[in-house]
Structure 1
């Protein structure tokens, strides 16, 4: 019986370790997304009206496509890359 409890204790510690790792990674992801969103908002505040909305939409599109180069270009110029 004692060996079963020891095995259960070990398994529980492993599960807690994995949960802690997942929770830490999740928090790091949320912090990174907040930083990216703040950068997009700053870039959008440099513009007014329709260009402001266009920057936000283009940035969201670049993030969805996982295109970091395009994201930097949009923040820098305020428009999407022409292909």
Structure 2
């Protein structure tokens, strides 16, 4: 019986460790997304009207396509790259 409790205790500690790891990674992801969103908002505030909406939409599209180079270009110039 003691062996089963020790195995259960070990398994519980492993589960808690994995949960802590997932929780930490999730929080880091949320913090990074908040930082990216604030950069996009700052870039959008530099523009007015239609240009502001275009920057936000283009940045979201670049993030969705996982294109970091395009995201930096959009923030810098305010328009999408055309290839």
TM-score bracket for this pair, using the shorter chain length: over 0.9
How many Å separate the matches in 2 of 1:82 and 1:19?
43
What residue in structure 1 maps to residue 58 of structure 2? Answer: 58
TM-score by length of 1: 1.00
What does 1:65-80 correspond to in 2, within 5 Å?
65-80=65-80
Runs of 4 or more, structure 1, over 2 Å off, are none
Give 5+ residue unaligned stretches, structure 2.
Answer: none
Deviation of 1:82 (Å): 1.1
What residue in structure 2 maps to residue 47 of structure 1? Answer: 47
How many Å separate the matches in 2 of 1:32 and 1:82?
27
For the residue of structure 2 that corresponds to 1:80, the secondary structure is coil
Deviations 1:32-74 (CA, angstroms, capped at 9, x unpaired): 0000000000000000000000000000000000000000000
Give 5+ residue unaligned stretches, structure 1.
Answer: none
What is the RMSD computed on CA atoms of the aligned residues?
0.2
TM-score by length of 2: 1.00
Alignment size in residue pairs: 83
